[in-house]
Structure formats: structure tokens, C-alpha cells
Structure 1
Amino acid sequence: MLVFKFGGASVKDASGIVNLANVVKQYQGNQLLIVVSAMGKTTNALEKLTKSYVDQDEDVHDIFNDIKKYHYTIIEELFEPSNPIFNDVANSFVEIDWMIEEEPHDDYDFIYDQIVSIGELVSTRIVNAYLNKAGLNSQWLDVRGYIHTDNTYREGVVQWDKTKESINKDIPSLLQKGIVVTQGFLGGTSENFTTTLGREGSDYTASIIASCLDAESVTTWKDVPGILNADPKFFEDTVKFDELSYSEAIEMTYYGASVIHPKTIKPLQNANIPLLVKPFTNPGEAGTVIKENGINKFEKPVIILKQNQVLLSISAKDYSFISEDHLSGIFGLFAKSQVKVNMMQTSALSFTVCIDLFEDRFKKLLNGLNQSFRVKYNQGLTLITVRHYSPASLKELTDGKTILLEQVSRNTIQLVVK
């Protein structure tokens, strides 16, 4: 039994969905579960819609109409007007229609999950319909009834026992009947509300399902030839890894390598299931395989960039030393605000952290910190992480930049730069 995950870039237009079907045709004869992300940049557009709705801006309906137009353009290329997919997509979008007609009263993160999740629900409806049109027997599955989470919206914590029980109860018999298509990124609460698993969480969805079903492998189809040592959008002459160990992949994703969601590897490692990263434009290529005994060869250093960073310096108002009691309170505020620390450093009088900028969470964090601490911060920074570095590679990366914070260990160096 195989699990495939197709990201937004692979289904961004009608030709991408046709290509997906052609890839799937090469694996006929296998039990196959397919996890699909929202199409193209739909999640970004739905995030913009969410913010506009919460702020009660005038462009709410314009943004939503653009999102609908984008999807209808794709399905008009793929299907005859009489195909039921038009009604299926309309019925998915109407959930947003109902919500934005009312004034926002709920928590922002709750609203976010109810709106942004529609991207995956629509994309999987379209993919499933096209697979059936192409003669591939396929069934649509609502993942929210199988991946159970707590009520931590935008970062749902998986309830593993309940999830495994639900997945094993129904999905094996469905796979015996044909292909199963379901959503990435989504979960459901006991109150039947939608949660998301964290941005770019579709890889994690594939990993959860595969580990519960003891799949043969997970393949995530990308717009790159495999896992590279750096992002080709920012660096020339990148090199591909043929293999990586689970531990190296975990380190890379922890530091922000965007090709795989950080939570993806651990469930696969626990079940000893290999993860393949392959190009959807050239499915016959080997790509990269991540496995227990994967061989790590580093011809060049691994370079990971995280942009839109904030550097905070937190100190006590009475100029006392930063103690364990202070740190306990600070980390409690970070957890309450759902803000993750990418890098941190402690001195006698201050605690400095580098974080991603999510404006709503950052505002909540600042409000909490300012009650007991003095806080200074810089925005618009970049965090550079280099694994298996050399002095020459560091000089090239930092040339012309101001280094605000630096940490060095045996294998990794991290730099916050302006």
C-alpha cells in the first residue's frame, strides 16, 4: 500500500491535474491513497480573505470571487458543464459565503481554520472527479473524520489512538475497492469543527495516515528533483541528495527546510517507512529517499533561509539577572501565544529570541511580555542556518550583511542577519 502526496504546485492548473492522473496510472495495481494540498497559492489567498473578513475590509467579496474564479477556470478546462463537480465545488465554497455574511465573533485562529480548510476540500473534489473521468476508480474521503485533534486551532495536536482506530476501521476496506483521495493539512475536533495541522502540513497528513496503515512508503511529489542542499530560488548550483537518514532530515526540517513539514519524519521513523521526494514533472527519476540507514553525503553545505524574522530582546524591568523563574514565565507566554522559537540566547540581563512573524500571535505575545518585562525588537530579518559549513561558505553568505546574532556548534551555524 502506497501513500502519495501532491502539493499545491503540482495541481495549480488543469495540466497539473492531468499530469497527476498520468503519474497515478503508472502505479495501477497498487493500493493507493492520495493526499492533496490546496491548488497553487490558494492557501495564501484564503489567508488574505480571512484577514480581510476579520478586519471587516471592503475587499472581502472581491478576494473571494477571485478565488472562486481561479478554481472554476480549472474545472471548465477539465469537465463538461453537466459534470457534478461544479455543484460539489459550489457547495464547498458556500460554507465561506455563509461565514463572511456574518460579523466575526470567534477567535481568529478558529475562523482561520474554518475558512482556509476549504482550499483542500475543493482541490480534492476536483482531483477525485478527474481521476474517475480518466478511468481510474477513485473515492473522495473527508479526512476530518479520521485525523482527530484537540482544539488548538492552526496547530492541531493529533490524538493518535483515536486517529489510528478511525483510520484502520474504514480505510483498508476502501483501498481494496480503489484509489482513495483525501485532504492534507486538515483534522477535526470532537465537536466536529475543522482544525489545521500547521502551515504546509499536508506532508504530515500523509505521514500520519501511512504510519497508521503501515504503508510500504510515502512519496511526496514536488516541483524540484528531490531534496537539495539549498533553495534553488535563492542559490545557483544546488546539489541533490540521493539519500538522507531520518536523523539528518529531522535536523533539516527543524531548522526550516521547507521541502518537508517538520513533523513529517518522526511517525515514519517510528514505523520504519521510507519517504521519497520525487519530481512530479519527471516521475521516473529517483528523487531522494529518506530512510533509517540513508547515507548522508555532503558535497556542499546545507543552507536554510527563514525570512520575515523578528529578533526580540527581553529583560527584567528592575535590571535583575534573567533567572530560571523569568525564563519559565517567558516560555509560558510563548506557548500561550503559539509562537515558536527558532533561535535563542541568554545573557546576564537579557533573553534574546528569533521567531517567525505572524502578526496576530506576535501582538498577543508582546501584550503578555510587556506586563512584566522590557522588550525591544527588530523586524524584517533573515535567519540563515548552515549545516556542515565551511569558512568559505559562511563568508559568501554573510558578505555585505549585518550579523545581529550568531550561534555556532560542531555541525551547524545560525546567523540572524539584516
Structure 2
Amino acid sequence: MSTNRPTVYKFGGASVRDAEAFRNLAQIVKLYGGERQLLIVVSAMGKTTNALELAIDLAYRQQDFAPAYQQTKSYHQEVLQGLFPESEHPVYQRMSHLFAEMHDMLRAIQPTYAYDKAYDQLVSYGELLSSTLLHHFLQEQGLACTWVDSRKYIQTDSTWREAKVDWPWTERLIGRDLPALLEQQIVVTQGFLGGTNDGHTTTLGREGSDFSAAIFAYALNAAAMYIWKDVEGLLNADPKHFADTVRYPTISYQETLEMAYYGASVIHPKTIKPLANKQIPLYVKSFLNPAGEGTKICECRFENIAPAYIIKENQCLVSFSVKDFTFISEKNLGTIFNALSELRLKINLMQNSAISFSICTDYHPERLQGLIQTLQDQFVIHYNTALTLYTVKNYDTASLGSILYQKEVLLEQRTRTTFQFVSR
């Protein structure tokens, strides 16, 4: 048996958005996968997850989901025909079966169903479809590969839409089956998905495919993990918002983890920990320029690092004050934190004064209303929506001057290395 450690590749939705993208992916695997043992984790194609979210929302409200469903089906069929001109190819039957299952599931949804549980069962089809296409296409390209159902290996609890991984059981299952498979062929599997011990599908949180790849890398004791993106590596800002971005050639696990926590979109926040625990290097590379240097994320340290600019939109600023004008106490804070935890509202920024406590969180209308209903008897609650949270890591005077220019600041906070503010 080979002593080579496997490598994990993760390809996101943009890298499988159309037939040409699939061909480019196959070329990357041929040129850079080499003779190594390779496990590929793939996301849903393009904006499929958004389309499926719309379909389930319509079905749940007993409205006509057929156009949203058909749009998703037509999109996949167009890519399918672009990759496999011969309609007798076995992949057509497999894709047809997946779409029939999805349609039956949408028809069966009732308003009495638990929404988040139904969401996980349906939205998972995006990854099942893309991984099925990729598996068959790589085979067509002469690459020996097999399709693996990640739901049978990434074992989780039943926290729908943000499932928690059962690490010991997951590691045991992956270690039992996949090393032997990887000795023989490439393994193609799905990102974002997990499974419960009673056979239900779970999801790991939006954009969770990075995390899936890290779970497999951890359990396989991988030599390295690669995330293939449409950017040249890990940048200090989103090029959609900033003109002059800087690529980090090498950056530490800790810096990357903090940037992901604050909302940097390149890496899912949960990705870094399992890799850092086993010192598995993470490479962020461009599928548009695979020969480029990219970014290496590893255990390292630098005295000076370019400031990172991170923007989180669709934020909500919520302020609590005690009704009798007494000070905000630790007991009050405990009550607020309890409610936030129960409603799965993540605090992105918090600040307290003598008589009030304020938080900035992602705006979820239903969860916000639940928070107000839970706490309105104890606190006076005010909130603002449609806000943006700006974070500058490793700031200096020049970086703050540029990002604060002509901004209305509602709340700000500064530490030795990080500056954050909320703005309209």
C-alpha cells in the first residue's frame, strides 16, 4: 500500500457553472492532480442553491413552484447536453432520477412541515446533481474516479441548516473506507452536506463546502487542501468593492481564521480549525489561472501584514435597555445571550454602556422578531436594518481614513489590531 497522503480539492459553484467550466476543471485535475491520491469536493452549480431556496419557499407557502423548479432543471440539462452529446449516456438516467425525486419532494411539502428540516432534504440536490455530472465527465475524460455520498461519511446531529459534526464517528467512517478507494481512483463527493444516524440529510451552513473539504482533509490526514476560486488567492479585500487589492502569498491560520470570522468571503469560517489542528496547509488558487502562485495558508508569522478590508452587508443593529433605567448587569447580558443562542443569531459586534447593550448581527427577519418577542417584557428594544459592517484588520491611519470617508457611523469599536464600525 502506498504511503502517500491524499490531497483534497474543493471546487465551488463558479468552477462548475457551465460546460466550459467543467472542461476547465477536468484540465486542472489532469495537469495538477498528477499521480497523487485525490478527493474532489464540489459545490452546487452556479446559483443553484439560491434557485432551490426559492422553489422550497414557494412550495412551503403552497404557491406555484413549477417555474423555479423547471428553471433549475433546464439549466442542468443544458450543461448536461453540452458535456454529453449522446443522449444514451447513463448520466441522463441518473440525472432524470434525481430531478424526479426533487419534484416529488416539492409536491409533498406542507405548511405543517418543519421548514429547516425540509430545506436540508431539498437543497442538498444541488450538490448531488453537480457531483453526479462531474463524476461521469471525469470518467469520460479518461480519469478513473468513483462517486461517494458525503452524507454517509460526514455524520452530524439534527441541527437543520447548521448541523454539528460528530467528529469521532465521521473520522472513523472516512478512515475505514476512503483510503483504500483513493489508492485506486479519484473520489468525487459533495460539499455542504452531512447526514444523521437515522438517514436524514443535513447541511453545514451556507457556503459550507469549504468546511466539508476540511473535514475530509482532517479525517484523511491529507498532505494538503486546495480551494479553487475565481480570484488569484486570498486577497486583502473583495475586488467587487475595492479597486486596489493585494494578494497574500503566505498567511497564517490565525489571520485567516479571524478574517473569515469577520466575514471575508473567500474561506468559510469553520474551515481553518480542522486543518490547523493537523498542520495541513491550505492553498487558495485560481481556476482561471491555475499556474498562478495563489496563497498558502499555514503556521507562520509575519511582523507586518497588509490591512484587510472586510464588508458584511444586510446587517441589523439591535439595542437593549432595561425598562427601569438601572444598569445593564451580567444577569441581563446572560438573558440576552441565552435568547440569541436559542434563535441562532450570531453576534458580529457588541458594545455596552451603563444602561444599554447593542449588537450587530446578520439580518434574519423571523429570528429578529423572535428575539423581540422573547425579550420585550424585560427590555426596551430598538433596531435598525439595511446596515453594513466594516472591519479593518491590521489597520493603520491611512487605511482608516480611506474607509471612513463620507460614512455615517452608527457604532464603532477599536482594538490594537482591528477596527470595526456599522454604517448606513
1:104 equivalent among 80, 101, 111: 111
Q: Distance in 1 between matches of 2:303 and 2:122?
A: 41
2:317 equivalent among 305, 311, 314: 311
Q: Distance in 2 between matches of 1:362 and 1:191?
A: 32
The Cα shift of 1:296 comes to 6.7
Check 1:8–1:135 CA distance in 2 against 1; reply closer, same or farther (3 A cut). Answer: same
8 Å contact from structure 1 (residues 4, 34) kept in 2: yes
Aligned partner of 1:77 in structure 2 is 82
Q: Distance in 2 between matches of 1:108 and 1:145?
A: 23
Aligned partner of 2:227 in structure 1 is 220
Q: Secondary structure at the match of 1:290?
A: strand
Q: Percent same amino acid at aligned positions?
A: 48
Superposed CA deviations along residues 323-353 of structure 1, whole A, max 9, x for unmatched, are: 1111111111111111111000111221100
2:15 equivalent among 1, 4, 10: 10
Aligned partner of 1:62 in structure 2 is 67
Q: Secondary structure at the match of 1:94?
A: helix
Alignment of 1:397-416 (within 5 A): 397-416=403-422
Q: Distance in 1 between matches of 2:316 and 2:88?
A: 51
Alignment of 1:169-184 (within 5 A): 169-184=176-191
Alignment of 1:193-232 (within 5 A): 193-232=200-239
One-letter amino acid of the structure 2 residue matched with residue 5 of structure 1: K
Which runs of structure 1 show a deviation greater than 4 angstroms over 4 or more consecutive aligned residues?
294-297
Q: Distance in 2 between matches of 1:90 and 1:324?
A: 57
Aligned partner of 1:286 in structure 2 is 293
Alignment of 1:3-402 (within 5 A): 3-26=8-31, 27-58=33-64, 60-79=65-84, 80-102=86-108, 103-293=110-300, 295=302, 297-298=304-305, 300-402=306-408
Check 1:90–1:296 CA distance in 2 against 1; reply closer, same or farther (3 A cut). Answer: farther
Q: Distance in 1 between matches of 2:25 and 2:304?
A: 31
The Cα shift of 1:94 comes to 2.3
One-letter amino acid of the structure 1 residue matched with residue 405 of structure 2: D
Q: Distance in 2 between matches of 1:365 and 1:100?
A: 30
Which has the larger displacement, 89-98 or 303-312? 89-98
Q: Secondary structure at the match of 2:207?
A: coil
Q: Distance in 2 between matches of 1:290 and 1:170?
A: 28
Q: How many residues align?
A: 416
Q: Distance in 2 between matches of 1:170 and 1:129?
A: 21
Q: Distance in 2 between matches of 1:321 and 1:358?
A: 28
Check 1:297–1:115 CA distance in 2 against 1; reply closer, same or farther (3 A cut). Answer: farther
The Cα shift of 1:88 comes to 1.4
The Cα shift of 1:282 comes to 1.3
Which has the larger displacement, 11-20 or 365-374? 365-374
Superposed CA deviations along residues 59-99 of structure 1, whole A, max 9, x for unmatched, are: x1111111111111100100021112122122222232122
Unpaired segments of 5 or more residues in structure 2? Answer: 1-5
One-letter amino acid of the structure 2 residue matched with residue 23 of structure 1: I
TM, length-normalised to structure 2: 0.96
One-letter amino acid of the structure 2 residue matched with residue 400 of structure 1: Q
